[in-house]
Amino acid sequence: MRFKLRAGPRPTADPATDPAPESAAGVLRPRRIVVPVSGRPGDADAMRIACRVARPDRATIHALRVVEVGRNLPLSVLQDEDLARAEQDLARVERVAREAGVTVETGVLQAREAGPALVDEARGREADLFVIVVGERRRLGEFQLGRTASYILANAACRVLLLREWGPDHPGRGRIEAQPAID
């Protein structure tokens, strides 16, 4: 049996009732994407995916790095080395977006915990999509989501696209930065 796909007119969406419109084919078309940045090698892949999703409709990408401040310190205290590391992490994903031909807005947040800060910021920015990456975390031999990813999945007001980094035995592990930019 053969099927023929026809391109119809783009559906129009009412932003008040449909925060993340979908095309006729059911493909997500967000307008605002949040990409949490943690300094992991998988951040670059998360940004590549966000760029690919954002490009057709020129969605805005917000790359956010949270610096967690210990409960024993005032929330307004930011260590210079933490800020420098956060800025380096954001510069890395910004470079990936630039190579893909997409602009990205970056920001550093200070919070006690990353999950609630990211969810609140996404709500404030009226995000349609989170693109998050999780690493290889094992507890008693079982794969476990981290605290931040679990919080985002449970509390985000928008869709969440979850990307797992390559496992330790994958032949491409360690080559994430060398992958070509999105065409």
pLDDT tens per residue across span 24-47: 444 678 999 999 999 988 899 999
Which pLDDT belongs to residue 170? 60
Cα separation of 145 and 114, whole Å?
Answer: 14
| Least trusted range by pLDDT, from 128-132, 133-137, 179-183 | 179-183
Task: With a cut of 90, say whether residue 117 has pLDDT above it.
Answer: yes
How would you write 37-89 as a 3-class SS string? ECCCCHHHHHHHHHHHHHHHHCCEEEEEEEEECCCCCCCCCCCHHHHHHHHHH
If one compares 118 and 22, the residue with the highest pLDDT of the two is 118
Cβ atoms 52, 58 nearer than 8 A: no
Which pLDDT belongs to residue 12? 47
Which pLDDT belongs to residue 167? 62
Q: Which pLDDT band, with edges at 50, 70 and 90, does 177 fall under?
A: very low
- Domains, the chain, in order of start with CATH, read 32-167 (3.40.50.620)
Q: Which pLDDT band, with edges at 50, 70 and 90, does 121 fall under?
A: very high
pLDDT in tens, 5-21: 444 344 444 544 555 55
Averaged pLDDT of the chain: 79
DSSP string of the chain, one letter each residue: --------PPPP--TTT-SS-B-TT--B--SEEEEEE-S-THHHHHHHHHHHHHGGGT-EEEEEEEEE--TTS-TT---HHHHHHHHHHHHHHHHHHHHTT--EEEEEEEES-HHHHHHHHHHHTT-SEEEEEE---EETTEE---HHHHHHHHH-SSEEEEEEPPPTT-TTTT-GGGSPPP-
What does the block give as tokens for 3?
């099927």
